[in-house]
Amino acid sequence: MAKLYFNYSSMNAGKSTLLLQAAYNYSERGMNTLLMIAAFDDRAGKGRIASRIGLSADADVFNSADNVFTHIKTAHERKKIDAVLVDEAQFLTETQVWQLANVADGLRVPVMCFGLRTDFQGKLFPGSAALLALADNLKEIKTICWCGRKATMVARLDAGGRIVEEGDQVVIGGNDKYVSLCRRHWSDRNLG
């Protein structure tokens, strides 16, 4: 039975690496995957998923107005899709998460989503909230704070390396803009 999976973590836990590894494993067995990423996340290039360790692959893009069920169903009708892998899943809308659940339930294609649980203010992203509510399987991917404890929070940094406490929920960036911290050090605003 196909399921909807949500693999979540803070920044720099290796979510994209795990997604690309899963895609490779399917490919190695002669199976087809459909990779997807938010259109506005163009850090690796538009329609490209990349990990910090150098792995990358092309992906279909989605915008908040897109019907991802229709997109996946059309792709599946052209060529059998054995799994859908979604990077930066926190940027999905609630409606799109329901559409992905329908892919698993109706098309019987497993959907594996990878993304952040919370933003720099400790608030759930809409896509993450919906995935936490609807996913059949939840898996936390662990990373560590500078102190060695499990990092569950992310802090946004300004150009001077200071913690930002206000602003838009979404600002695309990597190690230059974000650092993962344990809850205690995030609360204390302690970067070590």
Task: Give me 135's structure tokens.
Answer: 């996913």
Q: For residues 66 and 97, give the distance between their C-alpha atoms in angstroms, rounded to a whole number.
A: 12
Any idea what DSSP says for residue 1? -
- Set 88, 94, 140, 165: catalytic member: 88
Task: Give me 161's structure tokens.
Answer: 């390396």
Query: What contacts 46, CB < 8 A, 6 or more positions away?
Result: 39, 61
Q: Is 88 an active-site residue?
A: yes
Query: What contacts 108, CB < 8 A, 6 or more positions away?
Result: 1, 2
Tell me which residues are annotated as active site. Answer: 88
